[in-house]
């Protein structure tokens, strides 16, 4: 069975060291390079869609999480407080309380709405050691999160646009959703808010899912509102949520958030929580298994590996490497050992492009590309090889050659 933990070790993507602590993996350079490319893509996708990005601290005063409701409904999954003078500080289990503070940093007008506040930020869950595993279940979480503050009339369009962005991000990354779930309230007293607000939120989410095949799951809602969960299945057949959209009438009330409408009256916004791709940890646990470590070229840790046949091509390879680096590609040179052994190592590492430079290629300022799928291209000018790879990367294609 494909297991992201095994591939993570073999490909030097991440390491789990007991000295660091259970559920606290360390991203190695290869994994960090892939993650950085994905983070850049998601931030730019959000920026183009009107999101404004912020930074907020990964901890806050006890009173913040008491006000948000997390302390009352989520305490078992939070780490113990740290006392600093008269304050008790807690590692946050979610980003929404801080984003509520972003909204209320100043007065807001209806002209600013929807206000889309995005962050790829840290949060922490005190998971039991028995459920921790690789990147799939961790205690330190880097979440692609956003909170969209809007009028009630804007919620439907906002949710539909979020679902469109999720589909776009999934297509680029190679995520294949296993299904959509409308997560609703179940029996019990763990939920907040009145029945009318819940009914309105459920109605809005159902409307956004019109025509989308989905299941309804009572008891799976957040404590403050219903949500759309987009599910994936890992190599072992386990289902998990990778993307989510949630409607929340509770936080704007608790934090006394408001905006001034066209008539000058004070109105309460609606909060839409959303994550396009979930946490970087759970996302990469899925992507490593889905691609068997052979990531699409645009977020492959090393996009081009250059192999001189012998020491005589060292200067020529350095020139090619410089051209590729200047074009924005991630490049390495491997000059040690036999050429056959280096080609096999490149295949083990799932590098999408291997550029071989022998005496003839060096004389012509050329490179012979070998593709990850086993195809070999005729020697071509180094500048053409760099442009070919750059075109595939720019298109965020899963293919190894440009379309057409």
pLDDT digits (tens, 9 = 90+) for 252-276: 999 999 999 999 999 999 999 999 9
- Cβ atoms 31, 299 nearer than 8 A: no
State yes or no: pLDDT of 109 exceeds 90: yes
Phi and psi, residue 370, nearest 5°: -115, 130
Mean pLDDT of 96-123: 98
Integer CA distances (angstroms), 21 to 77, 133, 281, 282, 309, in order: 17, 12, 16, 18, 44
Query: What is the model's pLDDT at position 131?
Result: 83
Write the DSSP string, 133-146.
BTTTB-SEEEEEEE
| Element at 199 (helix H, strand E) | helix 195-208
pLDDT digits (tens, 9 = 90+) for 305-350: 999 999 999 999 999 999 999 999 999 999 999 999 999 999 999 9
Which residues on adjacent β-strands are paired with residue 260? 109, 266
Query: What is the model's pLDDT at position 2?
Result: 86
- Cβ atoms 48, 66 nearer than 8 A: no
The contacts of residue 298 (CB under 8 Å, 6+ apart) are 37, 41, 172, 392, 393, 394, 395, 396, 397
Mean pLDDT of 235-239: 88
Query: What is the model's pLDDT at position 130?
Result: 81
State the pTM of this model.
0.95
Query: What is the model's pLDDT at position 166?
Result: 98
Confidence of residue 84 (pLDDT cuts 50, 70, 90): very high
pLDDT digits (tens, 9 = 90+) for 343-385: 999 999 999 999 999 999 999 999 999 999 999 999 999 999 9
Query: What is the model's pLDDT at position 134?
Result: 93
Confidence of residue 224 (pLDDT cuts 50, 70, 90): very high
Phi and psi, residue 320, nearest 5°: -65, -45
Question: Which has the closest alpha carbon to 274: 65, 94, 88, 34?
Answer: 94
Mean pLDDT of 7-28: 96
Query: What is the model's pLDDT at position 189?
Result: 66
């Amino acid at each position: 069975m494909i297991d992201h933990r095994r591939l993570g070790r073999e490909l030097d993507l991440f390491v789990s060291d007991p000295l660091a602590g259970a559920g606290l993996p360390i991203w190695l350079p290869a994994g960090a390079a892939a993650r950085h490319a994905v983070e850049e893509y998601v931030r730019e996708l959000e920026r183009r869609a009107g999101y404004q990005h912020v930074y907020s601290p990964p901890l806050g005063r006890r009173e913040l999480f008491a006000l948000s409701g997390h302390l009352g409904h989520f305490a078992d999954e939070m780490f113990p407080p740290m006392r600093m003078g008269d304050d008790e500080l807690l590692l946050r289990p979610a980003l929404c309380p801080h984003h509520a503070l972003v909204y209320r940093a100043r007065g807001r007008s209806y002209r600013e709405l929807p206000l889309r506040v995005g962050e790829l930020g840290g949060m922490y869950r005190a998971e039991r050691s028995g459920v921790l595993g690789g990147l799939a279940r961790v205690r330190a979480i880097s979440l692609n999160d956003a909170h969209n503050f809007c009028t009630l009339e804007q919620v439907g369009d906002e949710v539909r646009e979020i679902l469109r962005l999720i589909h776009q991000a999934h297509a680029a990354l190679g995520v294949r959703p296993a299904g959509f779930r409308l997560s609703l309230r179940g029996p019990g007293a763990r939920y907040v808010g009145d029945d009318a607000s819940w009914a309105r939120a459920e109605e809005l989410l159902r409307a956004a899912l019109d025509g989308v095949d989905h299941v309804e799951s009572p008891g799976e809602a957040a404590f403050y509102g219903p949500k759309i969960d987009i599910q994936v299945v890992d190599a072992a057949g386990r289902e998990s949520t990778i993307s989510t959209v949630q409607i929340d009438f509770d936080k704007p009330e608790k934090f006394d958030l408001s905006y001034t409408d066209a008539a000058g009256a004070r109105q309460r916004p609606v909060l839409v929580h959303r994550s396009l791709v979930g946490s970087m940890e759970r996302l990469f646990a899925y992507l490593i298994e889905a691609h068997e470590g052979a990531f699409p070229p645009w977020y492959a840790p090393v996009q081009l590996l250059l192999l001189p046949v012998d020491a005589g091509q060292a200067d020529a390879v350095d020139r090619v490497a410089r051209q590729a680096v200047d074009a924005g590609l991630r490049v390495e040179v491997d000059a040690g050992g036999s050429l056959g052994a280096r080609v096999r190592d490149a295949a083990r590492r799932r590098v999408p492009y291997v550029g071989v430079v022998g005496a003839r290629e060096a004389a012509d300022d050329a490179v012979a590309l070998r593709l990850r799928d086993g195809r070999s291209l005729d020697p071509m000018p180094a500048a053409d090889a760099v442009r070919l790879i750059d075109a595939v990367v720019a298109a965020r294609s899963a293919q190894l050659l440009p379309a057409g």
